[in-house]
Each structure stands twice: as C-alpha cells, then as structure tokens.
A and B are shown apart, each in its own frame.
Chain A
Amino acid sequence: MTNQRQNNTDSEPSAEGDDLLASLRASLIAAADRDLPPQNLMIEASSIKAVECRPELLSRIVDQVFQTQSSDRDSFYESLGRLNHILPFGSEGRTILGLVWQAALLRLPEDERESKLEEFPRNEDGAFFGLLEALPIVLRKIRLSPARALPWFRRIRVVLGEDLCNRGYWCGIDAWTETDPVNARDVLDKISEHFPDDDTLSLGARILATLRRQGADCHRKVGMAEIEQTWPTHPESTKRLLHHRSWVETCRWKEISDDDVARLLQRLDAAGPEEVGEGFTFIRFLLNLGKTPPASIDLMIKWLRSHVTAKAPPMWIFTACMAARVAIKDGAPIWKSEHLEALLQLVLDCQPIPEGHAGTWAEIDQLIIALFKDSTADTTEFLARLFDSNPGGLRKLFDHTSRSRSCFMEMTRWSGLPKLLMEMFSVSTNRRQLAISLINSGMPLNLVQSELAALNESRIALGILQARLDGLRPQAASGLLLQLLPRIENGSEELKSLFAEELSYQAKNLPGLCLEAFKKSEKSSPVLKAAIAEAESYLESLRAASASPVSAMCIPGLRRARVTTQRRRSLEITKTTKEASVFLQLVKSFHIIYGNEGFASYLHGTLSPPTPFQEFSKSAEMPRLDLMDRDGQVLRRHHIVLQIRSLEKRCASPNSNDA
C-alpha cells in the first residue's frame, strides 16, 4: 500500500502528509533492506501541497531520507538518489525530491551547503540525471554567488555532454535567474567579458532571455534597458552574440512580431559569419514553433537566400530547406503562388547537398510531397533543376529502398507524372536523365501517346539513346520499348533501325523479361517480329555453342578462384544482411549443421516439436550482355554519348525544327 485516499484533503492536509511520510518510510526501509527494485509510490497533488505547507512534515521526511541508510557510507546524494528511486516519475516525484534536497541543503551551514552543491556535478553514482530534474526547485531558494555560479553551471553542462535530458539544467538556470536576478546579471557580465565557448554562450543567452521575461522592477534592478539598447550593436562581439542568441530563447515564450524578426535579421545582415549563424538558429527555432506569420517567413526566406550557398555549413542548409518546406507546406495558397519561385530557388542554391545529410533530405522530401499536392509545371521545373544540380541526391530520394517510401508513393499518384516522364525525350540532358531515373525507380510508366506522336524523330532518338546510356531497369525496359512501338512504326527507316537495334539488344540482354514480354505482346509489328526472331536465333546458336567442344575447357585456377569468390561474397552478404536487419541484430541466430529438414529447440527445460525449414529466396535476371562485355560496354557508352551530342546539336541548330 502506498497511500490511502482521503476525502477531506483540503481541510486536513496534515493527515495527507502524514500518510505520505509513513509510505515513504516503509518504502525507504524496504529498499534499504532488500536488494530488490523499489516500488514507486503514488503521490497526489494534495500530498505535495501538504509537504510545501508544513515545514515540520518536510523536516521529518528529510530526517527519514537521511536516517534510512542501507550502509554507513551512504553519501548525501546517494540518499537523495534512493529517494528518487521510490518516487514516481513526473512532476509530483520531481517536486518532492526538489523540496527534500532544498530542505536538506538549507539545514546545512552556508559553507557546507556550497560544498554539497559543488559535489553535485561530480555525482557519479547514476543519480545525476534523476536529481537534475529537481534542480529548478532547489535553486528557487538556494543562493549562489556569481563567482561560484558560473563554473558550477558549466560543470553541470560538461557532465550533461550531448545527453538530451537537459531540461532540469535549463529550467534550473531560469529558476536561479528569477530568484536572484542581480547575481544573474553579474554572471551575464562575466560571460560577456570573455570569448566564451558555445555552451557558455548558450548559458548567458538563457540568463538574458529569462531576465527579459521578468517584470519592470527586475528590469530596473539589472539594467535591462541598457542591455537591450547597446548590446545588439555593441563593439564587443560576445555581447552581440549573447543578445542575438537570447532572442532564440525568447521566442520560446514570447510571440515574436514581424518587426522583431525584421529588426533582428537586419542587424545580422551586417554581422560576421558567427552572428549570421545565430540568425539561422533563430529562424530554425521560430519555424519549429510553428507560429510564424507569413510576413516573417517572407523576411526569413529573403534573408536565407542572401546568406545560403552550397558551401554553407550543413546546419544553415538544413535551416534553408526547412524554411522552404514550412513555407510551401503551411503557407497560404496566394502567398505561396507569389513566392514559390524564390522558395524553390532557395533549395536549389543549397545544392549539391551530400546524400548522407538525411535530415536535410527529409525536409526536401516533405517539400516535394507538398509540391505534388499543389502544382505540376513548377514541380517538373523544380525537379529538373534539382536533378541538374544534384542528380545523385534526387535519385536516392526516389529510391524507395534507401529512404522513406512517402515521396515515392506520392509521386506515383501525382497527376503530373506522365508529363514529367515525357521529359525523357527532352533536349536537355538533365531532364532526360531525371525521367529515366524515375522510370528506373519504379514509377508507373505510361507515356502520353498523343504527345509521342507529336514529337519529332530526333527527340525520340535522344530518348532511346539516353535510356541506352543510363541503362533501364529490367522491368522497365520492355514496357518502354513496347509503348514507343506505335510511334516508331510511323517513323523513318533511320529511326526504325535505331529502335530495332535497341529491341534486339534488350531481347538478348534480358531474355527472361524483355524477350518474353515482346513475345507476349499483342502488337504484330514487323520490327518487333524481326527483333524476336533475331534474339531467338542468337539464343539457339548459344545453346548449340555451349553443347559443342569449343568452350569445353578447364581453365587453370578458375574453379578454386570461383569457390573463393563465392565464399567471400557469401560472407559479405551475410554481414550486410545482419547489419541491415534490425530483427537479426536483436535475435540470436543459429547455424544448423546437420539435419536439412527442420529444427527443434530445447529451452528452459522444454523440447519443442520440430519445425520444418522455410525457404525464402528472390531471384532477378541479370543483364547478360552488360556483364559479358564490360570493357565493350564502356566503349559502347562512349559511342552513344557521341551520338547524343550530335543529335543535341541538331536539335539546337536554329534551322532545325527539332527543338
């Protein structure tokens, strides 16, 4: 039993509090006597109120906590840690812990109290993070001299490291600043007089933001007006930085006006790169809060565009992409239509973003999804330009195996997709590459026949050659060629010849997928029939050749080398599979050595019945010709590039109507 409900909690707080004391005592004794995990107490709000209102009750709890020791060697913080273990998670437990910690410190003489506080960041028994949560309550009554406060907070920050459980630290700073604003101002001045590290700068910015939040009295006491007036343009960069960053903190609790944003960004315009970085942090925070008015977003986008380049630090680029995403996703349609070009340009200016910057790409992913919902022409244009500047990154974005499927799935439903895929016949290399890249990523291929019919032959040839150069996914190759067939039938002999060559190549290269698809096709085209006949004759000759003695020779060392290669590849596959599979990482895997029908297991004294093995396999057809003649493929690609260049020139010529 941890507590008993009382109906008259308000009228009889004493009973409530006594009950809590009794429960605490029992739990502490149990936790000290038995080496068992403690059972959390249930604490109600009324109990907390009782503890706050009745100093003698709090004093008895403190006695209890520090008397019930499992060993004589228990330290101050070990006792508090034990208390923390039996308290529930959440604000109730945190409050009781803070009150007990605070009361225990207040009992001590001042010098001993300070030394106990000094011990806190050195606390290594695992209770640090639990106690940190209660720090704001402690600092509401404990005074810290400016000389001790700064190094103390910094030590806590060091112990915190990169841990995200830092709420107690920041709220502790707030609580201490609110309690002792004058000393806090002193600490702020100390920070501003040096070139602090980033953590100390953040500490100062937090103090300044907390002071800004206080009332007029406090502002008078600490000279807030002077800070606000002089620090933004102060000759000392530390002061300027502190001021800029304090606005990042301020926007957490204050509604920032468009004027505030304009003023801040204007000031940062003339500043050095360090302060500009503060601007990015400010914008990121503001956007994360989700309350930014469109006018401010407009300002931010303009500011970002003037500061972002491809060489900017990753966090700046992330901020720019995030801003564009927020603006496109959440902006009003009218506003968006006016600013879309600028927003998209902002993202393009950041390219090429490395493929490994997953967070930034996630923003672009969301931005593109938002674009799919709104427009077609701008999206096509944007994607083509994005592909120009970063083909690898965009390709990976649409590769559903490497990132989330969301962008891929949205695109498959996008009404502008067929038009975008028609870009494979564009005069622009990048647009052709983008379209082929999308086809290869598995986008549904449905070419617009009416547009195909209207396209001139040079552009059709460009599309065919580009597909040949970039290589088509086996599943897409037959589909594309069959969809092109009606247009080719009406084309010139030159175009037919080029197409027939490609048909024949793919039929031989992928007999399982392409040749079979061609055979199943209901189209009775002479070009198709000829390609099928040629491929079948080729395969028949190969069958005859493989049965003849011409290739029936053993090659010295080849058999052993194949075994070695296969073993190495198998090990690599096993390793990669294990790395890629969360399931395999969590579950222990066994290699069954003998018995090929199934397996049973003996665990915890139980022998399970045998389970038959289940086989999972996936096969894919490899492009034969591409693998058989790898050196030849490089030369082939070189010739295709020359052909493409010549066609592009023809299309670009002013006398040509191919453009």
Chain B
Amino acid sequence: MTPDSIDNFLSLYLRSLYEESREVKAGPRYGFDRVIHQIAIADGSTPVRLPFFRGARDKLPKPKKEAEHGVDMSFISPDREILTVFVLKDEALTYKNFIGEGMDKDLRMAAMPDLKDPALADIKRVRVVLGYNKDEDEEGVEQFELLAGSHQTRLKRGIRLEFDRWNLTKITELAKERLLSPSLLPDSFYNKFSYICAQYGDFDATSPHWSELLIPDWREFLDDVLQGPTKETKLRLVSIALIILSQHAKTDAKGRKTSGAALGWIEIVEWAMLALWKASAAAPKKTSRKIKRIVVELWFTFYLEELQAFYREHAQSLTSTHSLEIPGEELEDAGGSYRAHWHLGRLGLLSMALSEIIQSHDETSRQVGLAMLHEVQEWTVGLLNSNPSCFRPMLDIQHIEQFLVWRSLAVLNRWEDLEAWLHELTERIYVRYMGLCGITGIDYRNSWELLMDDLSGTDPRQSIPTASSYLLLMLMELCLSLPEGRGDAIVKSIHSRFVVEHEDESKRPKNAAGPVDLISWSPPEDWGDRILAGQDDGGYGITVALDHDNPASSLRNFVTKSLEVEAGKTFPACLPSVLILGCLRHSIPVPPAMWRHLRFAHQGEGEAAN
C-alpha cells in the first residue's frame, strides 16, 4: 500500500464522518469530533470543554444537551498558555454554508471565550479553529479570512486572539502523522481493535493462535463495524482499520517484518473483503451502486493490488524448483500440497479477477489488464512446473484451486498445456490410489486436522476415506472443455481407472484403494449469498454413474441435463472471483455452474485475449 493511497483512504474516511459521534435510531453515527479530540490529546493538550460525555466501554459518547455558544470543544496547551477553541462543521466551507450553516455566527461566539475559569489564568493566546471535513470554495475561504481580519486581535488581559481553519487535507495530514492507531477509530471500537492490533503484532501468521484467536476476533470486529444498514462510513472504517493494522505487523529482533507476515496480511484482507462484499450485497437499493463502487475500489486496492505486489516481489522464489517442499520433514506430502494449493488458489483468483477487469474497461485498460493477466499466468505455470505438490490434492475441497488452474489456462486458450496438466494430474492421483507411492488418495472429509491426525497414525490407508470424489468428476467435466474432443480419452481413462470395479481384483496392486464414487452437487438458490456468509453448502448431492462404454458422452448428457435443471437459478450478481474467494475461505465447494458457465464463456474471452 503506497503513502498516497493511505492519504486517499484516510481522507475519504474522514470525509464520510459526521460532525459528532452519537447513537441515533438508525444506528451509530461516527463523527470527526473524535478525530479532532484525539489529535489534540496526541499533542498533549488538556480538554477544557467537550461536547459529549465519554461513553462506557465499547459505547459511543453521549452528546451534552447544553448551550455551546459556538464552541464545540476547547483544549489548553501543555504550557497552559494557549487555549484552542474548535468550531466543527461537517459541511463544505462555502459562502452559502458560512452564513447558512452558522459558521460565521459560531466563529464569532467562539471568539469571545469565557476566561474566568482559574485554570485559564495563564492563557496568553486564544486560537479559534474552524474544523470541517468537506471541501471548500474560494468564497467560503474569503468569508473566513474576512472574519478573521476584521475581528479584534486582543482580548481582556491582553490575550491575543487568532483564527485558523483545518480543512480535510489538514485534518488528514494530522491524523496520518499523529493518529494512525486504534484511536482513529470511533470510541466503540477502540478496545476491541486495540486488542486485535496487539494480537496481529504478536502471533505468528497462520499459527494456531492466529487462526483460533485473532481471525475470529477480526471477523467479529468486521461484523460489528458493518452491522446495520450499509453506509459509506462503515466501509471506509474497514479500510482505515486495515491501514492501521498493516502498521502493526509482527517484526523480528531487527525490526523487519517476519516472513509469515505477508501471508498473514493477505488472510486478514481476505476476511475483510468477504465482509465488505457481504455488506454490499445487503445495501439498500438506493445506495447500492455507490456502495458497490466503494467495495470494488477497496477490492482492487486492498486485495488485488496487494496480491499482485506480493507475487511480483516473490515470483522468483515461488517459481524456483521445489520452493514449497521441505525435504526431510514428516508428512511433507501433505504439507507441500497445502502450500502449493494456497498459492495456486491466490494466483488463480488474481487471474480470474484480472479477466473480469478486462471485460469491463476501455481498450487501454484492457491492454494493461491483459499484460497483467499474462504475467500472473506465467507465475502460475512457473509454480506448476517447479512444484510437484501442485499436482497432489490431498482434500477433495482442493478442487477449488484445481478449478482455478484450469480457468487461468483456459482463459488464454492454452489448450495443449491444459491437456498436459490434466493428464499429469490424473496420472499422479492414479499412482496414489493404486498405493504405488505411499501417499493416500483424496480425503473427502475436507479437514486438514483430521487428515493430519490420520496420516500420523499407523495405517492412514485404512483410516482416510477416499471412496467419493467431487474433484474427479470436476476434472472429468473440465476435460470436456478441451477442443476436438481431446479430453474424451482422459475422461475414459479416469473412469476406467478410478470408477469401474476391476473384474479381477487380484490384478490390482496390494495397497490399491477401492473404486471411487463420482459425486456432483446442486447448490441451493441462494448459493452466492451463502458463500459470502460462509454458511454450509446446502443444496443436494448427486451420485453420478456414467456409461462404462462411453463415459464422455454419458458425462456430456449429465452436464446438459444438469444445466437444464439449474437454468432457473440466477447467477449471483457478485463478481465470480469474490465468490471463489468465499469458497476458498469457507471451504465451500465451487458450484458446477462456475465451470459449466465458463466453459462456454471463456472461448470468446480467450479469443479476445489473443
């Protein structure tokens, strides 16, 4: 994340705030009075007047119902000689607002402070500051200058009077300089977010503590922020929380970010993105376009750009041979598979998101997008070539990453590469099912903990269930996408090797697993929302028995029939890449519609890409 983008998001957040924080019927309203208050406190100033009662823990402050006389809040400097009086307005400084919104009146009243208070006995200077978190125009500024120039410069006891104004830029600068901490967030989130920052800086990324403590807290925080009607401020608040959190990454003794921090950051952002997309889906119609635009902006800036920057920085390491394998460690077959599929998933997602950009931009953006797409694809191919564990799915849910590999190759019409990939992938899985290499088949329980437990036992082959597979059926369907029916032979090979029971069992190797049942899935109507919400898969499973003599034709027939049945279901409005992120994070299977739909769509896309 660049300093400019931090300025931009900070400014957008501050701009979205109200004048004062308070609880209203429609929910919490976050004001920039809290920001001004925290900036003053950060300077070491002492509050003299505050317009609110500080709230209880995790509650917003309660506004005071008393005459303000133009003064929103005032602070005395650490040397007790300067009294700063703030007049806050969540309006733009225009001629109209200067008069109409009472800026002029409030400034004049604020310029006559009551200095009888013994605490103000040493005051030598009074600064009246007009703080506003919107834009300004020349006339507005002129009016302010006129007022400041025409007003007396001395008060009683010879105290000097000055006028100043803090516009959005000034407040942003000050906030960035002094307040890039949980204090920048509304009072109600301060404690929780402080704790999250502490955990983020303490736990090793993706460690058990991280997954069991930090991530649940972070998701709960996001839910709290985004609860109720979706508003711009809440979305901006998430972006600010991310910016602040990024400043708290775990460092080593030399102050450098630990090696896992980058991966941890990606996970943090992913959860935030899912929460934002979920909130955007729930936005009222009136504001939904605006909300979606903001979420897309955050999606690109915080997630896709970060992901791309990560891979650009580490592509060389990632694509060097055996970069993800740790030789000599126990259970590395599974360990390598986890790492490789993690990267395959993110690269595939990046590729998918880029191809979505290409579809919706002008020609220049299209060309830039295409160049980036090629770059991502080279990383994917490099990863596949250098790490054999990319071909070693251990859990059935890893079909998501395999689907993404297929998609990223298919989108650029790399059919020969796809054919080779499908061939090698199925060969390697077959070797495992035949018990020829000591690696078990694909566990359909989809739990790494259970898999690892069983792998550490005495007889993993007996304890790990592998007799049903969604992944294999998906691969068979993907084979159908190969041009000129070239995938039919692979479909037949998968079917005869994995599915068909051998007539002569004695010819099977001793440790071979039994035949596999092909399982498909018909998701429920609202599968898009369910994926974003992380609800369990729902829908119904389908057992698929193909014709032994011509499995490819039989499979085509099954796909056609399934498409007819699914025709009534609407494809979610959300970006497909976001849905895939939801599948990855919540371990929800990719609905078959994703590849059945793309199977027809990618042709045009690929042609365009070329």
Residues of A within 8 A of B (CB): 538, 541-542, 544-562, 564-566, 568, 622, 624-625, 627-635
Contacts and interface: CB of A to CB of B under 8 A. Distances in A.
A634 B328 CA distance: 19
Interface in B78-113: none
A549 B452 contact: no
Interface in B409-432: 424, 427-428, 431-432
Interface residues of B, number: 61
B320 A557 contact: no
A441 to B, nearest CB: 24
B589 to A, nearest CB: 19
A542 B321 CA distance: 7
A634 B208 contact: no
B214 to A, nearest CB: 12
B439 interface: yes
Contact of A553 (B205, B388, B392, B449): B205
Most buried by B among A559, A624, A630: A630
Most buried by B among A546, A547, A558, A566: A558
Contacts of B438: 630
Contacts of B331: 558, 561-562, 565
B449 A549 contact: no
A243 B334 CA distance: 69
Contacts of B329: 562
9 contacts: A545-B317, A546-B326, A548-B317, A552-B205, A553-B206, A553-B263, A631-B431, A632-B388, A633-B437
A549 B260 contact: yes
A549 B428 contact: no
A545 B502 CA distance: 44
Contact of A561 (B204, B206, B428, B452): B452
B448 A542 contact: no
B452 A560 contact: yes
Secondary structure dominating the interface of A = helix
A551 B455 CA distance: 21
Interface stretch (B159-167, B179-187, B338-346, B530-538): B338-346
Contacts of B343: 550
B437 A630 contact: yes
Contacts of B451: 557
Interface in B438-456: 438-439, 448-453, 455-456
Contact of A628 (B314, B317, B338, B388): B388
B327 A562 contact: no
A557 B322 contact: no
B336 interface: yes
A119 to B, nearest CB: 54
B328 A622 contact: yes
A648 B336 CA distance: 37
B437 A628 contact: no
B321 A554 contact: no
B335 A548 contact: no
Contact of B333 (A548, A566, A630): A630
Given A556-B448, A631-B428, 19 more contacts: A538-B320, A541-B321, A541-B323, A542-B320, A544-B317, A549-B262, A549-B314, A550-B317, A553-B206, A555-B338, A556-B449, A557-B452, A558-B448, A559-B208, A561-B452, A561-B456, A627-B327, A628-B332, A635-B424
Contacts of A545: 317-318, 320, 323-324
A550 B318 contact: yes
A556 B260 contact: no
Contacts of B452: 555-558, 560-561
Contacts of A549: 259-263, 310, 314
Nearest to B450: A557
A555 B448 contact: yes
A566 B263 contact: no
Interface in B197-221: 204-208, 210-211
A629 B260 CA distance: 25
B323 A622 contact: no
B320 A558 contact: no
A568 B320 contact: no
Contact of B208 (A552, A554, A566): A554
Nearest to A560: B452
Contacts of A541: 316-317, 320-321, 323
Nearest to B332: A628
B436 interface: yes
Most buried by A among B320, B338, B439: B320
Contact of A566 (B258, B325, B330): B330
A478 to B, nearest CB: 19
A557 B453 contact: yes
A561 B437 contact: no
B2 interface: no
B388 A631 contact: yes
B610 interface: no
Nearest to A627: B327
Contacts of A624: 327-328
A382 to B, nearest CB: 32
A628 B325 CA distance: 7
